[in-house]
A and B are shown apart, each in its own frame.
Chain A
Amino acid sequence: AQTVTQSQPEMSVQEAETVTLSCTYDTSESDYYLFWYKQPPSRQMILVIRQEAYKQQNATENRFSVNFQKAAKSFSLKISDSQLGDAAMYFCAYTGGATNKLIFGTGTLLAVQP
């Protein structure tokens, strides 16, 4: 069965600094996608970034980038120049196999200190 693990329940970063959130996954599928979703206090789920497993190049969206290590089944999120608005719960998610249901990790709560 596919699983997603986020081993950091909480992280903290200073404003303008860089932080990396970790995620590992387990799958036997060859075709799959990985995502990072942000959940601010409003509880809305917001897509931050996505990575196709067949692409070797790491995805980037403005200040957000990923380090996708396919062999190690690792998918970390790097946030550069952290801003107060980045404070939120971040969920790593996987989809693959016969259905495109999302499998989520347990989340990492990120605090941004001014």
Chain B
Amino acid sequence: DSGVTQTPKHLITATGQRVTLRCSPRSGDLSVYWYQQSLDQGLQFLIQYYNGEERAKGNILERFSAQQFPDLHSELNLSSLELGDSALYFCASSVTPLLEETQYFGPGTRLLVL
């Protein structure tokens, strides 16, 4: 158990819908990362937050947004869902955003868009 929690574990929804994925980082970690794992794109970085502020952006679609709240938990919002958004979404956390920090991954949220 990495100490990073993600809810829900599974999510099934329809095209066009909107969902929210939630992540609680390890105690003491200020930086949160979101990654997407899909069959065609592999594992790719979406976005990073540090202490409530966006720090880095990757291949995140405009239909997706995220935020980190004062209590440091983070939410990833996916809207106008398409079949291709079906994937495993990971949250990871680290103490700081420095290069030497190891990122610890949550168990992931498996999203299926029908």
Contact = CB atoms under 8 A, between A and B. Distances in A.
Interface of A: 31-33, 35, 37, 42-47, 50, 52, 91, 95-96, 98-104, 106-107
19 contacts: A42-B107, A43-B108, A44-B2, A44-B105, A45-B92, A47-B102, A52-B100, A91-B43, A96-B99, A98-B56, A99-B55, A99-B56, A99-B97, A101-B48, A101-B56, A102-B35, A103-B45, A104-B42, A107-B42
Contacts of A32: 99
Residue from B90, B100, B103, B107 having most chain A Cβ neighbours under 10 A:
B103
User: Counting chain A CB atoms within 10 Å of each CB, which of B43, B56, B100, B104 scores highest?
Assistant: B43
Interface string B11-32: 0000000000000000000000
Contacts of A44: 2, 105, 107-108
A45 B90 contact: yes
Most buried by B among A43, A46, A106, A107: A43
Given A44-B108, A50-B102, A107-B42, A100 B97 contact: yes
Report whether over half of chain B's contact residues are helix, strand or loop; otherwise say mixed.
strand
A91 B103 CA distance: 14
Contacts of B3: none
Interface in B85-107: 88, 90, 92, 94, 97-105, 107
Interface of B: 2, 33, 35, 42-45, 48, 55-56, 58, 88, 90, 92, 94, 97-105, 107-108, 110
Given A43-B88, A43-B108, A102 B103 contact: yes
Nearest to B99: A100
A45 to B, nearest CB: 4
Given A52-B100, A99-B48, A99-B56, A106 B105 contact: no
Nearest to A98: B56
A44 B100 CA distance: 22
Contacts of B100: 33, 52
Given A91-B43, A101-B56, A106-B42, A31 B99 contact: yes
